Homo-oligomer: A and B are copies of this chain.
């Protein structure tokens, strides 16, 4: 059996910089991705359009046939003037990280109101707001309810800026799915591959499954699968593939959060859709809905297309080059569906 997926997209990727960038960027294509939305949390973060364009150029060199949608990192420097410049530079979104919630979020946002003029300009310029939707842990906030506690902020921003297109990135909870559904069509959510697999049981004893937002309860995973396979254009694929050197993952105290899925992005998702008997909904989730939201025409992408083929393969134990090693999600496990490019 095989399935034409057209030109799939991954609307949330971390491609890093330096040696890691060189290691993982080529795996976009290996994973079956034609277009991707690139997160700006480098060290230091991408806070001006010029640096974003330079970064985009460096990625293009490493994966020439991939289309890279780019983003800025929301911080004090992102004024309405910068938004105007970003639009001219062809930048697609601005990523908002609450301070301290995940990898390289130290420069993130503590309060949203100071950014209202920026959001208003984004609304005018039709630039997307990409939100990491978690509140930092505190007295009654912890990693399991951090996303749910953020949802009132999402709904507030939507009501203040109803025309602002907002992506609740890597949503992980039943509550988030409900909130996104409650909002108008300008609010959508990405769903990762790994959150379709993992629960709170998965990450305590396996550092490679530890990510932020953390995987939640079985009923949350069910809600994610239900949303992803529902055929609703409000939910589309963003892998949040987040490579870290194996040493950073397994160092014990202060281990890095992030799951690396880029290499087999589409295959991981296909497996879940297959298990759910919903392979007919796969193309909407990984190809159509995200491109529609970001207003990408297939004509602007490389001509090659992807076919999903039933051809079981084993996920390699590691992706490695010159002493830099990343452990893929489900290393050593067998996946049923492979991707093949048309040329």
Contact partners of A331 in chain B: CB under 8 A = 253
Cβ contact within 8 Å between A143 and B204: yes
Contact partners of A200 in chain B: CB under 8 A = 142-144
Per assembly, the copies of the chain total: 2
Whole-angstrom distance between the Cβ of A207 and the nearest chain B Cβ: 5
The DSSP consensus for interface residues of chain A is loop
Q: Is A277 interfacial (CB 8 A cutoff)? A: no
Contact partners of A140 in chain B: CB under 8 A = 218-219
Q: Which A236-277 residues have a C-beta within 8 angstroms of B?
A: 246, 249-257
Cβ contact within 8 Å between A144 and B252: no
Whole-angstrom distance between the Cβ of A249 and the nearest chain B Cβ: 6
Q: Report the interface size class on chain A.
A: 20 to 34
Q: Is A115 interfacial (CB 8 A cutoff)? A: no
Whole-angstrom distance between the Cβ of A174 and the nearest chain B Cβ: 13
Cβ contact within 8 Å between B201 and A142: yes
Query: How distant is the Cα of A327 from the Cα of B249 in the complex, in angstroms?
Result: 17
Q: Is A203 interfacial (CB 8 A cutoff)? A: yes
Contact partners of A76 in chain B: CB under 8 A = none
Cβ contact within 8 Å between A142 and B252: no
Cβ contact within 8 Å between A255 and B206: yes
Q: Is A193 interfacial (CB 8 A cutoff)? A: no
Q: Assuming A200-B144, A204-B214, A217-B144, is B249 touching A252 (CB within 8 A)? A: yes
Q: Which A266-293 residues have a C-beta within 8 angstroms of B?
A: none
Cβ contact within 8 Å between B207 and A252: yes
Q: Of B137, B205, B249, which is within 8 A of A254 by CB?
A: B205
Contact partners of A207 in chain B: CB under 8 A = 207, 250, 252-253, 255
Query: How distant is the Cα of A218 from the Cα of B144 in the complex, in angstroms?
Result: 11
Q: Is A113 interfacial (CB 8 A cutoff)? A: no
Q: Which A177-208 residues have a C-beta within 8 angstroms of B?
A: 199-201, 203-208
Q: Of B139, B201, B210, B250, which is within 8 A of A204 by CB?
A: B210
Contact partners of A249 in chain B: CB under 8 A = 252
| 12 A-B residue pairings within 8 Å (CB atoms) | A140-B219, A142-B218, A143-B201, A144-B200, A205-B210, A205-B253, A205-B254, A206-B252, A207-B255, A249-B252, A250-B250, A250-B251
Closest 9 pairs (CB-CB, A-B): A205-B255, A207-B252, A206-B253, A250-B250, A204-B210, A250-B252, A137-B201, A143-B201, A142-B200
